[in-house]
Amino acid sequence: MREVMTSPAVTFRPETPLKQAARVLVQRGFTAAAVVDADGRLLGIVTDADLVRDRIACDPRSRRGGELPQSVATSALVREVMTTPVTTVAPSADVAEVARMMLTEHLRSLPVVDGGDLVGMLTRSDLVRMIARDDRSIATDVRRRLATYARCRRWDVEVSEGTVTVAGVFTDEVERHVVTALAQAVPGVQHVDTMADRA
């Protein structure tokens, strides 16, 4: 999760003016940001939907039958519109499970919290960015992880469209499983094949 999430996360305080929050979200290209207290503890989340809701004035030229357009909301601070309580995830959470939850529950952003402290934000854009990683970068990261696991170079790594092929000598099925798990944990990896060299 730490390799995928956006960190440090953009945050607002409850007393942040809505216009300022809207400007920051637009400038950073985000759809949501966490709301924290003075100690960095998560209080809620403010989304683009929270900012837009009931805040766009109707065009008076479009009124029908002489009806006056409805007035817009007068809220001016983040604390008046933020969503709370908010669903959070831990840094150790499985990204695939979190992605499924985000799709099922129609969540576009999730705060990542460790022991009550906000450590990042996971967005759908982060997930798309992970899928879009180029094969060369993925291969470099897989090789680095395998080199950390086994100091001598024992495997050849090839990546095509996110599918990783690791070929070489595996001491046993346990080691093959470890190598598969290490490769699968690299952001952008879609599938891992292992091929043992024939003696």
Do 85 and 153 have their domain in common? no
- Domain assignment present for residue 49? The answer is yes
Q: Can you give the length of the chain in residues?
A: 199
pTM, rounded to two decimals:
0.73
- Could you tell me the residue range of the domain that residue 90 belongs to? 11-56+77-131
Under 8 Å between Cβ of 192 and 180? yes
Do 125 and 166 have their domain in common? no
- Domain assignment present for residue 181? The answer is yes
* Per-position pLDDT tens, the chain of length 199: 788 998 988 999 999 999 999 999 999 989 999 999 998 889 999 999 888 886 666 666 666 555 555 555 567 899 999 999 999 999 999 898 999 999 999 999 999 999 888 999 999 999 999 999 999 999 999 999 999 998 877 899 999 999 999 999 898 999 999 999 999 989 999 999 999 875 4
165/184 Cα distance (integer angstroms): 11
**SS3 of 1, please?**
coil
Task: Please give the pLDDT value at position 93.
Answer: 92
Task: Please give the pLDDT value at position 60.
Answer: 65
Q: Residue 21 class from Cβ within 10 Å (0-12 exposed, 13-18 middle, 19+ buried)?
A: buried
Task: Please give the pLDDT value at position 146.
Answer: 94
Under 8 Å between Cβ of 162 and 188? yes
Do 183 and 111 have their domain in common? no
Enclosing H/E stretch for 43: strand 42-47
Do 91 and 127 have their domain in common? yes
**What's the domain count of the chain?**
2
Q: Which of 83, 98, 93, 73 is nearest to 31 (CA)?
A: 83
Task: Please give the pLDDT value at position 2.
Answer: 82
Q: Indicate which CATH number applies to the domain containing 106.
A: 3.10.580.10
178/190 Cα distance (integer angstroms): 17
